Structure 1
Amino acid sequence: MTEATSSRRRGRRTRTESADTRDRILSVAREEFSERGYEKTSVRGIAKAAGVDPALVHHYFGTKERVFEAAIEVAFAPALNAPEAIADGPLDGVGERLTRFILGVWESPATRAPLLAILRSAVNNETAAAVFRRLVASQLMRRVASQLDAPDAELRVELAAAQLVGCAMLRYVIKVEPLASADVEQLIARVAPVVQGHLTGAGGA
């Protein structure tokens, strides 16, 4: 084996190890934020749980705010497919498609847990809320609004999101009955027309 070949292999191995370490830190961070909330989670605690030095967490992400943003971006990724979901069909069915998609994300145990961590942190801490707003505004709402041909598209999307987030908060976070145990198809049938009204109904600018 030549020295150049050995060097390339070491380089690939180092990059793989770095990626694995970064992923492990993010995985641990999501668990820490979920269990402790934003305020009680620290970079030192994340590092300890991940089995790395705190300096390595700072190396990859910088501040705790940036760790949180990176962690929730991965967790929020399934919801970022919403623009494609609403674009796949006629405009008069967009409310049903968006409602079904968002509630479907919440219904899945695999995606519900990280979303709960995001909401709990955002509700209880302004820094976490600012990160969440920035992510939602730039990567979700503006992309959904671009699918609508209306001068007040962003407001319409925000009103629709308020309807869906409110439903999710009451059903999955606060667990208010009978909403918490209602059949999801029943919820979609009732909520979708309201979401449709926000997105395409008369009124606005």
Structure 2
Amino acid sequence: MTAVTRGRRPGGPDTRAQILAAARELFAARGFARTSVRAVAAQAGVDPSLVHHYFGRKDDLLLASLEMPVDPRELLAPVVAAGADAAGEGLLRAFLGAWDDPALQPVLLGAVRRLLEPGGESLLTEGFVPGVLLPVGRALGIDRPELRMPLVASQVLGLILTRYVLRLEPVSSLPSDAVVAAYAPTLQRYLTGDLDGVGG
């Protein structure tokens, strides 16, 4: 007689994909702060230890669910270490270094296009911004990171769309130094400048 196995499903070939699907759904519906590893495990029908086994911490799970080819926390660590006063230029140079890399750009484009699909915007607004960008703002020690970092995101997303997705000229073909000269002062203002009258 074959023994009947009870309880949560053990790891299998499709377990990782099921965990990612559950994570995307919950991060989009509940947001980063209100989604727990235990809730993702329950949604996927697995033990929470399997989520940690495959993905580590909750922020690692978020990045995996977004299918990012680079870890933005590692990418921006030198920017954070250099301090807020130079963060506008540093952030932009780190961003351009990844996006202008021919090996990374196709994968990054795929990730952005998934975010532009119906329902994908919630992964950005409820997942990436609170789970990745706000911690960067707090680590920089800026005031009102919950206001400043979404403003930074609006500028960077606009640059992604015009330079890499829509390929709007002349933005698409500008040398990276010219992009930095044009965009970095605005990013720096969003990070550390006077925002009186913005956001109350």
TM-score bucket of the superposed structures, by smaller chain: 0.5 to 0.7
Q: Deviations over 1:94-134 (max 9, x none)?
A: 110011111111111222122111111111221x3323434
Contact residue 61 and residue 67 of structure 1 kept, 8 A: no
Distance in 1 between the 2:81 and 2:20 partners? 38
Is contact 1:65–1:131 with CA below 8 Å preserved after alignment? no
| In the alignment, structure 1 residue 123 sits paired with structure 2 residue 79 | no
Once the 2 structures are TM-superposed, how far is the Cα of residue 62 of structure 1 from its aligned partner? 1.9
Q: Name the structure 1 match of 2:30.
A: none
Q: CA deviation at 1:56?
A: 3.7
8 Å contact 1:72–1:114 — kept in the other structure?
Answer: no
The one-letter code matched in structure 2 to 1:62 is Q
> Structure 1 150/80 Cα, relative in aligned 2: closer, same or farther at 3 Å?
closer
Would the alpha carbon gap of residues 168 and 114 (structure 1) be closer, same or farther in structure 2, given more than 3 Å must change?
same
Taking a change above 3 Å as real, the CA distance of residues 121 and 111 of structure 1, as seen in their structure-2 partners, is: same
1:196 alignment partner in structure 2: 188
Instruction: List alignment gaps of at least 5 residues for structure 2.
Output: 1-10, 25-61
CA RMSD of aligned residues (A): 2.6
Identity %: 24
Between Structure 1 and Structure 2, whose CA radius of gyration is higher?
1
Superposition TM-score, scaled by structure 1 size? 0.63
The structure where helix makes up a greater share of residues is: 1
TM-score w.r.t. length of structure 2: 0.64
Moved more, 168-177 or 69-78: 69-78
Q: Deviations over 1:65-110 (max 9, x none)?
A: 3486675545253323244132222432111001111111111122
Provide the aligned length of Structure 1 versus Structure 2: 150
> Which residue identity is paired with 2:144?
D
Q: Residue 105 of structure 1 contacts residue 111 of structure 1 at CA under 8 Å; is this kept in 2?
A: yes
Change (3 A) 1:66 1:113: farther
Match of 1:25 in 2: none
